[in-house]
Amino acid sequence: MGRSGTSSRRRGSLSSTEAAAALGVCERTLRRYIASDHIRYHRLPGGHYRIPEEAIAEFWVEHDRRRRARRRARNTARPDLRPPERSTDGARRPALGHERGGDYDLSSEHLVELRARFATRTP
């Protein structure tokens, strides 16, 4: 008996292979998502999975929400660890050893301030 690639599409659900391709992950990763309840699924009597098409969209919405929350928490917890702002023209920082003069304040007052700031931190 032949297998039709469109039969699962007509019912609005995807096979695990099709769903993994839609998510851009391998099937093993999709099964991990299923096991951890990150994505909705139906199990057929033969043990195969069917993932509703709308579950893919729901996964991306939830994934993006979690990623934004993690990024927000990381930036508010340690603002001193935020990545440096890019210049207005979008240029990258020069490589170490190729900086312009005056990029670093190496005055003794500034070094004392830096030492004091880092001495009060605990790892």
pLDDT tens-place string over residues 14-66: 999 999 999 889 999 999 999 999 899 999 999 999 999 999 988 888 888 88
Beta bridge partners of 51: 14
Domain at 8-81: CATH architecture: Orthogonal Bundle (1.10)
pLDDT for 88 beyond 80: no
Decide: pTM greater than 0.75: no
From first CA to last CA, the distance across the chain in angstroms is 64
DSSP state of 79: G
With residues binned 3-state (H G I as helix, E B as strand, rest as coil), the percentages for the chain, rounded to 5, are 50, 5, 45
> What's the number of CA atoms in the CB half-sphere (13 Å) around residue 31?
7
